[in-house]
Amino acid sequence: MTDITEHLSSVRERVRKAAERAGRNADEVTIVAVSKQQPADAVQAAYRAGQRHFGESYVQEAVPKMDSLRELDTVWHFIGRIQANKTRPIAERFHWVHTIDRERVARRLAEQRPFYAPPLNVLIQVNLGDPRKAGVAPEEAAELAAAIAHLPRLALRGLMTIPPAGLDERAASTYFARLAKLRDDLENAGFSLPDLSMGMSDDFEAAIAAGATLVRLGTSIFGRRAARPEPSPDGLGDGRLTAAE
């Protein structure tokens, strides 16, 4: 077995156990294998081991990789920061976008989503307190959800968050609980938000305990990433990833 195959079976087992401890069905949790800064070969190895959902953070890196893997039946998730003037390849190429944090971006994705493609599944990224991270403030989420609900070709699926870096699982848990609570409040206000994208390699079990339906796992599947990409001059992929991420 390759490392990737082994890592995948180990994270699947951990997902299953975390779901079980939370009284949830493991089928409710989708593993998004974060393949940013990993070569297409690594995606292929994970695919051979049965993985279908992949996450990318940099458009410029993702598009050629996706082209080279066109024959695979993959589901692509965009999980990086979005520049409002660089939305077209995201609208055209991805199945999910986890990082909507302003109406302008949502509007452009709706306009640019090809008419022949199914609706683009989108999540609102919520910033629960780290000013360096992207995301709407919790009190602005309802307004953005209402705006997205009126747009064609987008399917609003839920909320996403990234807790501040460097927290232990217990501290991260409080952020996951807050996102789940916000989702419940918004559902009580009439929105349908079945998905919660939260949890990364270091804290996904806590996220599953709090209700995550999409966990974004990079290093626990692929191992360490290559050095961060240089910030690109055209702004596609903003290079804001740090070694700690």
Among the listed residues 80, 125, 71, the one whose alpha carbon sits nearest the alpha carbon of residue 102: 125
Total residues contacting ligand PLP by CB under 6 A comes to 14
173 binds ligand PLP (CB under 6 A): no
Which span sits near ligand PLP by CB under 6 A: 15-23, 111-119, 136-144, 198-206? 198-206
Among the listed residues 104, 245, 103, 79, the one whose alpha carbon sits nearest the alpha carbon of residue 160: 79
7 binds ligand PLP (CB under 6 A): no
Of 144 and 203, which CB lies nearer to ligand PLP in the complex structure? 203
Question: Would you give the DSSP letter of residue 136?
Answer: B
Give SS3 for 37.
coil
CA distances in angstroms from 222 to 5, 6, 9, 177, listed in the order given = 9, 10, 12, 28
Which span sits near ligand PLP by CB under 6 A: 14-22, 112-120, 179-187, 194-202? 194-202
237 binds ligand PLP (CB under 6 A): no
245 binds ligand PLP (CB under 6 A): yes
Which span sits near ligand PLP by CB under 6 A: 14-22, 150-158, 210-218, 230-238? 210-218
Interatomic CA distance for residues 211 and 11, integer angstroms: 17
Which span sits near ligand PLP by CB under 6 A: 67-75, 114-122, 199-207, 232-240? 199-207
Q: Which residue is nearest to ligand PLP (CB)?
A: 218
219 binds ligand PLP (CB under 6 A): yes
Angle in degrees, CA 133, 226, 128, rounded to 5: 15
130 binds ligand PLP (CB under 6 A): no
Task: Map the footprint of ligand PLP across residues 48-107, applying CB under 6 A.
Answer: 57, 79
Which span sits near ligand PLP by CB under 6 A: 3-11, 70-78, 138-146, 197-205? 197-205
Among the listed residues 107, 109, 142, 112, the one whose alpha carbon sits nearest the alpha carbon of residue 124: 142
200 binds ligand PLP (CB under 6 A): yes
Report the Cα–Cα distance between both ends of the chain, in Å, rounded. Answer: 27
| DSSP strands (E only) in 170-237 | 195-197, 214-217
Q: Which of 217, 236, 237, 238 binds ligand PLP (CB under 6 A)?
A: 217
Tell me the closest approach of the beta carbon of residue 98 to ligand PLP, in angstroms. Answer: 7
Q: Which of 133, 157, 183, 216 binds ligand PLP (CB under 6 A)?
A: 216
- The helix (run of H) or strand (run of E) holding residue 207 is helix 204-209
Tokens of 234: 């055209």
| DSSP strands (E only) in 20-135 | 30-34, 53-56, 75-78, 96-100, 120-125
Residues of the shown chain interacting with ligand PLP in the complex, contacts defined by CB under 6 A: 34, 36, 57, 79, 162, 200-202, 216-220, 245
